Chain A
Amino acid sequence: DAMVIQNPRYQVTQFGKPVTLSCSQTLNHNVMYWYQQKSSQAPKLLFHYYDKDFNNEADTPDNFQSRRPNTSFCFLDIRSPGLGDAAMYLCATNLGQANQPQHFGDGTRLSIL
């Protein structure tokens, strides 16, 4: 059974039209991460929440925001998507301990028209 669930699997939006991607988890993990993975590249961390504490990576564009209303859910908001934001967006969770692995969802593939 999937423990990190991302919806939808495929999302199409128009250039400049705000879009929200969602992630839910049944693991009750403290930490939730959002990664961006462009075609033929490795995943790149955008930000993470440790409980309610938000941690942004230094090079994450301001266009990307996140919300975590409760332990189970985390959202990625792209305020004004550009063509360069087309990518796979991966959500992951972790207990917050280095000796515990991260668990990934299967991602949402975002296309920009």
Chain B
Amino acid sequence: DAKTTQPPSMDCAEGRAANLPCNHSTISGNEYVYWYRQIHSQGPQYIIHGLKNNETNEMASLIITEDRKSSTLILPHATLRDTAVYYCIVRPLAGSARQLTFGSGTQLTVLP
């Protein structure tokens, strides 16, 4: 079962920051938070991941709360091409269960 909770949908104006929340209240100390997105008819695309600290790359920023029970993915300047389903996934550090267990995700629609 997925260990994350996300809103089913969100809208964002083009050029504005998109902030996508994720709740993972049962996360354990040996689990990463991963974010992927899936544009229609394409495979999931890796965005970013983190364990404890906030992370930033060329695509997005990941803010993880101090208690690690929730996180926020930030797309700083959303474009129409960012319209996609965004998945927040909790993934164990070790063991054979290193697969990704996808939840329902958030459908982000960027509006012109």
Taken together as a complex, chains A and B put the C-alpha atoms of A39 and B2 apart, in Å, by 18
Q: Find residues 71-106 in chain B having any chain A CB closer than 8 Å to their own CB.
A: 87, 91-94, 96, 98-105
Q: Tell whether A72 is near chain B: CB-to-CB under 8 Å.
A: no
Q: Tell whether B45 is near chain A: CB-to-CB under 8 Å.
A: yes
Taken together as a complex, chains A and B put the C-alpha atoms of A106 and B42 apart, in Å, by 5
B68 to chain A, nearest CB (A): 15
Q: Tell whether A81 is near chain B: CB-to-CB under 8 Å.
A: no
Is B87 in contact with A42, judged by CB distance below 8 angstroms?
yes
B71 to chain A, nearest CB (A): 16
Of B34, B42, B93, B100, most buried by chain A (CB within 10 Å of CB) is B100
Interface majority SS (helix, strand, loop, mixed), chain B: loop
Q: Find residues 1-26 in chain B having any chain A CB closer than 8 Å to their own CB.
A: 2
Interchain CB contact (< 8 A) of B32 among A6, A45, A99, A105:
A99
What A residues does B102 contact at CB under 8 A? 42-44
Taken together as a complex, chains A and B put the C-alpha atoms of A84 and B70 apart, in Å, by 36
Is B96 in contact with A105, judged by CB distance below 8 angstroms?
no
Interchain CB contact (< 8 A) of A104 among B32, B44, B49:
B44
Is A45 in contact with B46, judged by CB distance below 8 angstroms?
no
Is B34 in contact with A42, judged by CB distance below 8 angstroms?
no
Q: Tell whether B29 is near chain A: CB-to-CB under 8 Å.
A: no
Q: Tell whether B112 is near chain A: CB-to-CB under 8 Å.
A: no
Taken together as a complex, chains A and B put the C-alpha atoms of A97 and B32 apart, in Å, by 11
Of A102, A103, A105, A107, most buried by chain B (CB within 10 Å of CB) is A102
Is A102 in contact with B46, judged by CB distance below 8 angstroms?
yes
Where the two chains meet, the residues of B that have a C-beta atom closer than 8 Å to any C-beta of A are: 2, 32, 34, 41-46, 49, 51, 87, 91-94, 96, 98-105
Closest A-B pairs by Cβ, 3 of them: A104-B43, A42-B102, A101-B46
Where the two chains meet, the residues of A that have a C-beta atom closer than 8 Å to any C-beta of B are: 4, 6, 31, 33, 42-45, 48, 50, 55, 90, 92, 94, 96-99, 101-107, 109
